[in-house]
Amino acid sequence: MSIAVVWLKRDLRLSDHAPLLEAAKTGLPVLLVYCFEDILLDDAHYSERHWRFVSQSLRDMANKLPAGVLYVAKGDALAVFQALNLKYGISQVFSHQEIGLDNTFARDKAFATWCNSNQIIWHEPPLGAVQRGLTHRTHWDENWQQVMRAPCLNLDLNEVNWFKNNEFECQLPHFETRFQNIQGQFQNGGESEAFNVLNDFFTARGKEYAFNLSSPSLSQIHCSRLSPYLAWGNISLRQVYQTVLSHWQVPGWRRSLVAFTSRLHWHCHFIQKFESECEMEFRHVNKGYDDLPRVTGELAEHRLHAWKTGQTGIPMVDACMRCLIETGYINFRMRAMLVSFLCHHLELDWRTGVAHLASLFLDFEPVFLICKINIGYFE
């Protein structure tokens, strides 16, 4: 016997999912696998609020699937796949291309080597409109439009030849219990919740988007609040964009839809930028930052602690940091302000604060945090 494995990463949904669709087309028994990886659990960029969101997302998927077709594991991803291959025999693996931090890139290179050594075919369809190995942007916008307007890649879950195993049923509740008691007022994860938020935005909240997206308080209501669902893949960018298009002629919405659409476009733009310049994880994109004055030693530690805990004495800065700690969300201008204050007023290197911000943003995406801190812009 051999199986096809769909390796879930930041694509925790069952609709518009190219790896799942392609795996189903093979006719092989299909197993879904998510791994709480040690390299990420131990990474300072991630925190328990992220893993709570992930476990909620996995539960939402499990509730829509037959019993025993979603395997949730913990540990080293390669070791998990080695064990599955030894026990069941893996013929093909399907996963979206991942554009993450250096540690996941190194993991993927090791995984590719293992697949080649074991005659396992690894399929990696692109993530959205991002193009791997791109050397120029000549037709990038045209490709973006083509991808976003293409039909969503959906399938009938009842027609999939699922690989069912009762021993896989007992894993998810362990992680749900582990991450359920986190303190804070966070959005809940899951594909179902993503579409609830999307529909709520287009029912009423989004009409005032263009006029309130910059307000620290009103943005909490009138911004889409879809960012964590996009970051963890509970919904695809294409699904959101096509919902925008379906509302394009609704009276009174055009200005907000134009503003919102531009930000959906920037989403792929920044991922593409990081794909092409991944070294920005470790260096300044703007060389002007190389020679900025920086404090060090005990003074630097004192200032960094005050910034992290919202105790700088500057009310707006502290309010934003405390809101972020409590809810995992602030709007893009307030994010930019926190970073600007860190670099220019506290005279600290942005790299001293990047992991802390990542651990607080419920919508943390490696690409966006690094690109936007470096470039100085947040959507």
**DSSP labels for 338-361?**
HHHIIIIIS---GGGTHHHHHHH-
Tens-place pLDDT, residues 336-356: 899 989 988 999 988 899 899
Q: How far is CA 232 from CA 7, 52, 98, 157, 237, in A?
A: 14, 12, 12, 21, 11
pLDDT confidence band for 173 (50 / 70 / 90): confident
Please tell me the CATH code under which domain 283-375 is placed.
1.10.579.10
* pLDDT confidence tier of residue 369, bands split at 50, 70 and 90: low
Distant-in-sequence, close-in-space partners of 7: CB < 8 Å, separation ≥ 6: 19, 33, 35, 77, 81, 93, 94, 95
- Give dist(CA 238, CA 125) in Å, integer: 15
Res 165: pLDDT: 87
Among 348, 344, 6, 357, CA closest to 163: 6
> From the CA atom positions of the chain, what is the Rg in Å?
21
Q: What is the pLDDT of residues 103-135, one digit of tens each?
A: 888 999 999 999 999 999 999 998 876 666 666
> What's the CA gap between 327 and 266, in Å, rounded?
24
Decide: helix, strand or coil at residue 97: coil
Question: Which pLDDT band, with edges at 50, 70 and 90, does 363 fall under?
Answer: very high
Regarding predicted confidence, which is higher, 1 or 185? 185
pLDDT tens for residues 1-26? 799 999 999 999 999 999 999 999 99
190-276 CATH:
1.25.40.80
Q: How many residues does the chain have?
A: 379
Burial of 54 (0-12, 13-18, 19+ CB in 10 A): buried
Other beta carbons less than 10 A from residue 173's beta carbon: 13
- Which is higher by pLDDT, 272 or 227? 227
What is the DSSP code string of 175-190? HHHHHTT--S--PPPS
User: What distance in Å separates the CA atoms of residue 162 and residue 29, rounded to the nearest whole number?
Assistant: 5
pLDDT attached to residue 375: 38
Report the mean per-residue pLDDT for the chain: 89
Residues 6+ apart with CB under 8 A from 202: 243, 247
Mention the CATH class of domain 3-125: alpha beta
Judged by average pLDDT, the poorest of 176-185, 282-291, 293-302, 322-331 is 282-291
37-44, Cβ contacts within 8 angstroms, sequence gap of 24 or more: 37/74, 37/75, 37/76, 37/77, 37/107, 38/74, 38/75, 38/76, 39/76, 39/103, 39/104, 39/107, 40/103, 40/104, 41/74, 43/101, 43/103, 44/355, 44/356, 44/358, 44/359
pLDDT at res. 131:
66
Mention every residue, 6+ apart, whose C-beta is less than 8 A from residue 175.
36, 51, 55, 58, 72, 74
Q: Is the pLDDT of residue 209 over 60?
A: yes
For 233, phi and psi rounded to 5 degrees?
75, 25
Q: Where are the domains of the chain?
A: 3-125, 190-276, 283-375
Over residues 23-30, mean pLDDT: 97
Average pLDDT, integer, range 317-335: 95
What is the C-alpha to C-alpha distance for residues 7 and 5, in angstroms, rounded to an integer?
6
pLDDT of the residue at 376: 38
Query: 284: pLDDT confidence band, cut at 50, 70 and 90?
Result: low
Distance of alpha carbon 38 from alpha carbon 347, whole angstroms: 33
pTM as predicted: 0.91
Average pLDDT over residues 268-293: 68
The percent of residues in the chain predicted with pLDDT above 70, rounded, is 89
Mean pLDDT to the nearest integer, 33-47: 95
Confidence check: pLDDT of 371 > 90: no
pLDDT bucket at 287, cuts 50 / 70 / 90: confident
Say what percent of the chain tops pLDDT 90: 70
Distance (Å, whole) CA 191 – CA 187? 12
249-258 pLDDT, tens digit per residue, is: 999 999 999 9
More confident residue, 178 or 260: 260
Phi-psi region of 231 (alpha: psi -120 to 50; beta: other; left: phi over 0): alpha
pLDDT of residue 377: 34
Quote the pLDDT of residue 133.
63
